Amino acid sequence: MKGRSVIIDHASGRTAAALVVNGRLQDLLFDPVDDAPRPGAIFRAVADRPVKGAGGMLLRLGGGARGLLKAGKGVTPGQKMLVQISTRPEEGKAATVTTRLLFKSRYAIVTPGAPGLNVARSIRGEDERERLQEVAFEAMRGKDSTGLILRTACENVDGPVIAADIADMLDRCAAALNAAGGQGPALVQQAPSASQLAWRDWVEPEPDEVVQQDGSFDSHGVWDLIEDLRTPHVTLSPHAHMAVEVTRALVAVDVNTGGDFSHSAGLKANLAAAKDLPRQLRLRGLGGQIVIDFAPMRKNDRRTIENALRAALKGDGVDTTLVGWTPLGHLELQRKRERAPLDQLLTNL
């Protein structure tokens, strides 16, 4: 399968979407199997009680769901507020939430309470930036308390198309804000579905093929690509490989050179692992604490590995922090929990 393909399928009543580039699976989305709050969903929440020692506030979201507002200073029990889910909750824990709402579409991000008009830095042409600023100014006329960010996908797109997209986000924003005065905790706006996320985030650069029909995962070999994710083993080269294994406390990554005993084997294997790890974590839906046990290499090579990993993370889309190296020579990462683990999503499929 050559080129860039977006494939959307329906399996067991749930939507799934895959991004395949030159036959390689780059991203994978499934609608969830449970009702746990998902990142992007907006709730009218009611403050419940402070979390001792953490400076946060536990919130009631409705339906038995709970949220944790980390910046809970000044919030009192019983207070109502609109919050958006930031991270998917671990089993038995509250979802992390924020009061800084974002309404995100293909072309725009609307930010209520955070005024200002901005164009994505990746759009560099002065004339194009000026044109987009004019589109933004007209679309946001009279919305002084609301901000707007125009995304990279806006480049060279007709102004009326962008303006219509902005208007849709403003309508969604207004609907959410109007729901703030209701009684009790409740879901105000659901998180985007797998197909909505695919149409929103996978259209830049423009795909060569978009397939949206039942059975397309079978006809385009996507299930075969997913099968490789059911095992911890990841092949990096004819010799090198890594294992991505989930424990209760963290995700452990072990890099091995296999049968390559050359002087540069460790560095080559580690570079390959650093370049592919963000994709593997994204496809497997893994977050939290990540600990990488790289193959033996010179200490001077650590900066090279860090640079390769940072470059790979730039196109990943999930907030990930390089925490640093441990005394034992392991590299620690902290990754935002945005997705459910793949093994949960594949339940009943």
Q: Where do the DSSP E strands lie in the chain?
A: 4-11, 14-21, 24-30, 42-51, 56-62, 65-69, 80-85, 95-98, 103-104, 108-112, 116-119, 146-150, 186-189, 209-212, 233-235, 241-246, 251-256, 288-293, 320-325, 331-335
Gap between the Cα atoms of 33 and 349, Å rounded: 10
Over residues 82-115, the pLDDT tens digits come to 999 999 888 778 999 999 999 999 999 999 999 9
Q: Which residue has the tokens 């397939």?
A: 211
Q: What is the pLDDT of residues 123-152, one digit of tens each?
A: 999 999 999 999 999 999 999 999 999 999
Q: Report d(CA 63, CA 231) in Å as an integer.
A: 35
CA nearest to 346, candidates 32, 55, 71: 32
Q: Average pLDDT, whole number, for the chain?
A: 93
| Chain centroid offset of residue 286 CA | 11
Report residue 127 as tokens. Answer: 């004339």
DSSP secondary structure code for residue 152 in this structure: G
In whole angstroms, what is the distance from residue 135 CA to residue 149 CA? 12
**Over 70: is that where the pLDDT of 221 sits?**
yes
Domains and CATH numbers, the chain: 4-31+195-222 (no CATH), 42-100 (2.40.50.140), 103-181 (no CATH), 231-345 (3.30.1370)
Q: Is the confidence at residue 349, as pLDDT, over 80?
A: no
pLDDT band at 251 (very low <50, low <70, confident <90, very high): very high
Residue-wise pLDDT for 147-195, tens only, equals 999 999 999 999 999 999 999 999 999 999 999 988 899 999 999 999 9
Read off the pLDDT band of 348 (50, 70, 90): low
